[in-house]
Amino acid sequence: MVKINKNYLKLPGSYLFSDIAKKVNAFTSNNPDKKIIRLGIGDVTLPLAPVVIDTLHKSVDEMGKQETFKGYAPDLGYEFLRNAIVENDFKARGVNIKADEVFISDGAKSDSGNIGDIFDVDNVIAVCDPVYPVYVDTNAMAGRTGDYDAATSKWTNVIYMPCLEENGFAPVIPEKTPDIIYLCFPNNPTGATISKDKLQEWVDYANKVGAVIIYDAAYEAYISEEDVAHSIYECEGAMTCAIEIRSFSKNAGFTGTRLGYTVVPKELKVDGVTLHSLWARRHGTKFNGAPYIIQAAGASIYTEEGKKQIKEMVGYYMNNAKIILEGLKDAGYSVSGGVNAPYIWLKTPTGMSSWQFFDHLLNEAHVVGTPGCGFGPSGEGYFRLTAFGSLENTKEAIERIKAM
């Protein structure tokens, strides 16, 4: 008699975005004349860059001709893409990652979920709170998180590292020692970063206690400040304790095009076994590569033209972020993020819960955002707005919020 993975039954319902949709639908049917502005989800809105479109057309043509048709891709991904990554994302920053330490994938969500496969069930994870929910949910599915306590909105066997206004939204090294530490900088949802020196402390700590850091750098392209590391490998010793996950979704608008990569340095060993060999085995057995045309498109963003074009896209969104950040400050809100990230994190006005502020914003300004409590218990009393809308909508949303 077949038995299911009972860990799935422990997961609380994932209703955040469906609850938001329900509330928005109800508002719209009661107020058909009101124009809603959505600054809620983390999805991009600008079209793909011209260089990406050109490359897609060219590589589609290759797939239509016998002589240039491509079947199964190499296990790690095409070398042309891995070389471009190494050259631009790492060598250019003085980091000596090798092309065969880079694994091309269909995106950072898959990688940050699947990476758990190579670790034992018996590991304790530490996460920033609030944070991207995929880290905790996928570990819960694997049976690594204990039980869910609805009263506290916490799992019994997860180390939560609260990131609050009082600590500058930066995690503090926890009392209990974790085995696996998830760090995401710039952070989703707070938009916070930590300095390179602070990141170095995490690397040193992980090496000292024998922990592995899963470093999610999906928002790296939004970093504008000098003392923030773009890659954890800019820190000394990170090669022996950190796995880094990258995405083409937010820098190049690939949310619907799907491409990412994960770096597993060969120096990273546990009991003499390289995590590289485990991930290579997982990658080769449970995945068959990202499409050739998408890998070609990904490589095009590393050309001179490509770099210029995606910088413009990021600049467009960061201009929105600035408008939101400064507008909310003017309006008297306590806000953070928005400088090195496309997310603005605001503290709800006195006494309001995240959901109360959601309703308030929807009813008074017809603007949709995301309640902070959806990202972890320490997100309660906070609210996320994103810079991925159009300039016009962003401006109008802020005018409306100011007038509330």
Positions in 61-100 near a copy of itself (CB under 8 A) = 61, 63-66, 69-73
| H helical segments located in 16-70 | 16-30, 50-63
Q: Considering the complex, state which of residue 255 and residue 340 has its C-beta at the smaller distance from a copy of itself.
A: 255
Note whether 15 binds a copy of itself by CB under 8 A.
no
Distance CA 342, CA 321 (A): 6
Instruction: Among 19, 117, 267, 380, indicate the residue that binds a copy of itself (CB under 8 A).
Output: 117
Phi, psi (degrees; rounded to nearest 5) at 385? -120, 145
Tokens 């008297």 label which residue? 332
HSE, side-chain direction, 13 A CA sphere, residue 195? 5
DSSP at 7: H
Q: How far is the CB of 167 from a copy of itself (least distance, A)?
A: 26
* Interface pick for a copy of itself out of 36, 83, 137, 347 (rule CB under 8 A): 137
Distance of closest approach, residue 143 Cβ to a copy of itself, in angstroms? 9
Size of the site for a copy of itself (CB under 8 A): 77
- Contact stretch for a copy of itself (CB under 8 A) within 21-29, 60-68, 319-327, 395-403: 60-68
Binding residues for a copy of itself restricted to 36-55, rule: CB under 8 A: 41, 43-48, 50, 53
Does residue 180 touch a copy of itself according to CB under 8 A?
A: yes
Residue 303, interface with a copy of itself (CB under 8 A)? Answer: no
| 113 vs 146 by CB, closer to a copy of itself | 113
Q: In whole angstroms, how far apart are CA 9 and each of 13, 93, 141, 147, 382?
A: 10, 44, 9, 10, 28
The pair of structure tokens assigned to 138 is 């996928």
Q: Which is nearer to a copy of itself, 155 or 169 (CB)?
A: 155
d(CA 48, CA 371): 29
* Dist. CA 245–CA 140, nearest whole Å: 20
- Report the site for a copy of itself in 320-359 (rule: CB under 8 A): none
**For 105-137, b where at least 16 C-beta lie within 10 A, e where not — what string?**
bbbbbbbbbbbbebbeeebbbbbbbbbbbbbbb
Which of positions 186-225 make contact with a copy of itself (CB under 8 A)? Answer: 209-212
Encoding tokens for residue 165?
């206004």
**Closer Cβ to a copy of itself, 249 or 340, answer by number:** 249
Nearer to a copy of itself, 133 or 349 (CB): 133
- Among positions 236-255, residues that touch a copy of itself (CB under 8 A) are 253, 255
- Angle of helix 304-330 relative to helix 50-63, nearest 10 degrees, comes to 140
The reply to whether 290 sits near a copy of itself by the rule CB under 8 A is yes
Angle, CA of 328, 332 and 335, to the nearest 5°: 50
Q: Is 391 in the site for a copy of itself (CB under 8 A)?
A: no
Of 30-38, 134-142, 338-346, 376-384: span binding a copy of itself (CB under 8 A): 134-142
DSSP state, 48? P
Q: Is the Cβ of residue 70 or residue 360 nearer to a copy of itself in the bound state?
A: 70
Per rule CB under 8 A, is residue 396 in the interface with a copy of itself? no
Q: How far apart are CA 291 and CA 231, in angstroms?
A: 26
* Smallest distance from a copy of itself to CB 164, Å: 26
